[in-house]
Amino acid sequence: MDYVGLIFKFKVNRSLTDEERQRQLHQKKRLEAEPSDHLAVVAVNSTCLEVLDRYYAEKGWLTLWAIIGLLLTFVGFLIATLPLFSHFGEIKWMLASAAMMAMTLPLFWIGGFLLRKEAFGCTHHPIRLNRKTRTVHAFRHDGTVLSAPWEKVFFCLGRDVRTYGTANWDIRGHVLSDDSVTVRETFSFASTSWDEEDVLRHWEFLRRYMEDGPEDAYRRTEYCMPVNGRRETFTEGWWRMMAAEWFLPMRWLGYPLIVLAICTRWLAMRWGKVPHWPAEIEASCRTEPGDPYIKDANDNPKDFHVNPAWSAAWAVAVVGAFVGLAVWTVGFIFSPIQ
């Protein structure tokens, strides 16, 4: 999990760094990396390729931490009010109660901040590469759209740190000012990995579509993410989250937590706004009649999915554990003070 650009915004109004110059990805330079769609394609045709942003695959985790924080805030607030009933009027107990309430405020603020970043924005932030107009369109986090000429975007490998400490590479597009040095805006594609070669495979997938044509991208895209103009279903979110988290260390021990994140992913998808491209961009991305390279979620193979039934026992266990914990907590809070 790496949320640079979402929680912490990309740094802009600055000069390109030496590392960015060294790791520039040139639009005309073919790499030996085997192209990969990285399960990030929404739709492909001869006119445009629509792909997902870097936060879609792991969407749900921030909402999970936010909800846990808000629940802890609620429980802490309830506990803080107990002295008001049992020791009302005693100064030391009133001060202790006020201090405990004040301690819950940071958790409340953090929980609300994380919800606003992930759950109350857009369900996803798509990026379109238009081969005909040679333009890149990317949804910003405020719901507006950034458009820039493909040839003028400075692409490079970016590097940050995952939440569990390993270095993380991604593909960043910098829109530069007229001086060709100052970074004005930054967006990032879906592929993120500790393996630099793995990230380059997705870049080559995108680059070849724009430079060589749609045939290769059409052939390599096995599954299109079913989010074009709609929200994903619970099962679709389950499948995508499991595909994203397969590499986690000690995955089976952490599986109940992943199940919870899948549930909060579904909530985030319900609360978020489905992005829709402006009419002028839709008009410029119209497919040509008889285009042989059209593919979207309607063309997905029926057997290309993960059946969640095999892990239903885990889901039941997780829900049961949380219900039991909630009942015990409420019982403890409201039990008579001895």
User: pLDDT for 170-187, tens place per residue?
Assistant: 999 999 999 999 999 999
Q: Which pLDDT score is estimated for 146?
A: 96
Q: Which pLDDT score is estimated for 184?
A: 96
Mean pLDDT, rounded, for 116-131: 93
Residue 13 predicted with pLDDT over 90: yes
Mean pLDDT, rounded, for 302-322: 54
- pLDDT, greater one: 15 or 168: 15
pLDDT in tens, 15-25: 999 999 999 99
Q: Give the pLDDT band (50/70/90) at residue 295.
A: very high
- pLDDT, greater one: 247 or 257: 257
Q: Over pLDDT 90: what percentage of the chain? A: 51
pLDDT in tens, 181-229: 999 999 999 988 888 899 999 999 999 999 999 999 999 998 999 999 9
**Average per-residue pLDDT in the chain?**
84
- pLDDT, greater one: 72 or 89: 72
How far is the CA of 188 from the CAs of 6, 126, 286, in angstroms?
11, 10, 24
Residue 78 predicted with pLDDT over 70: yes
